[in-house]
Amino acid sequence: MKRSSGPRKTANLSASINHQLNEYALAASAAGVALLALAPPAEAKIIYTPAHVTVVFGQPVPMDLNHDGIVDFYLNIAGGSGWAWLSACQYWSRDGYGSVLCSFMRGTNAIRALESRGRRPARYARALRYGQKIQPGEKFAQKIVTLGSLYVGNSTGWYGLWFNGGRGVKNRYLGLMFKIKGRHHFGWARVTVTTTSNDFTATLTGYAYETVPGKGIVAGQTQGADDGEQPDAALSAPTPEPTLGALAMGAPGLSIWRRKESVVPGE
């Protein structure tokens, strides 16, 4: 077959065809924008740290939730004159007698506590169950927060939800709020308290936090298996949010699943 050696002539498309091509290009562009609008937003991320550390009297156990080299919270057992208590704090030091002194810095970290009565500040920590929410708007205390107290004398007395009248608790959660670069994040620490007739042990078995500032977290929510507790799929998967593009295209609304909070007796 012979090929023409001369220059090719430019074909002039009719105005009708040009109009149809322009409409097609606009439609394709709109479809692309809609697909981008339907793309899921950046996913929130839970940073989970497994642990198995027994709290020893006078030796605070550190928790660095975001692994930046700065300890965010400590668990500590202290006491004297027949008393022993399990507490949580942000900082600690020793006095002249070698006893541990715990404290917080105002406006920074805090722990989910019981609602205060009158003007008296909340001092006892809530013993959250698996699946309960830790989020903005709840009561967080910035003083030494006690999980439980034990008195051994003529009689034995157990105080605080974590000691549970001398029965202890398994896999309960401290609600945590702390700052990263000036912005608050929410997290949890899982603790088991085991009791005898006149003594107790406390074991830290893991902790986690939500990387999105100001976004709440669910107690026990992790990236993987939860040391004997398997998180619900609904808790592990990010909840899709309807986008403007999806609504414009008539996409059906997404139903948001909510877990009902279980009530802790005595709170």
Q: Taking the mean position of all CA atoms in its chain, how far away is CA 231?
A: 13
Put simply, whether the predicted model's pTM sits higher than 0.75 gets the answer no
Which residues, 6 or more positions from 110, have their beta carbon under 8 angstroms from its beta carbon? Answer: 104, 140, 141, 142, 176, 177, 178
Q: How far apart are the C-alpha atoms of 139 and 252, rounded to whole Å?
A: 36
pLDDT by residue, tens only, the chain of 267 residues: 455 455 554 445 555 555 554 554 444 444 443 433 343 444 669 999 999 999 998 889 999 999 999 999 999 998 888 999 899 988 876 666 566 666 667 668 999 998 655 555 558 899 999 999 999 999 998 877 899 999 999 999 999 999 999 999 999 999 999 999 999 999 999 999 999 999 999 999 999 999 999 999 999 999 633 333 433 333 333 333 333 333 333 333 323 333 333 333 334
Number of helices (H) and strands (E) in the chain: give both, helices first. 3, 15
- DSSP single-letter state for residue 8: P
Q: How far apart are CA 232 and CA 229, in angstroms?
A: 9
3-state DSSP of 41-55: CCCCCEEEEEEEEEC
Decide: helix, strand or coil at residue 29.
helix
* Burial bucket for residue 232 (CB in 10 Å: 0-12, 13-18, 19+): middle
Greatest pairwise CA separation for the chain in angstroms: 116
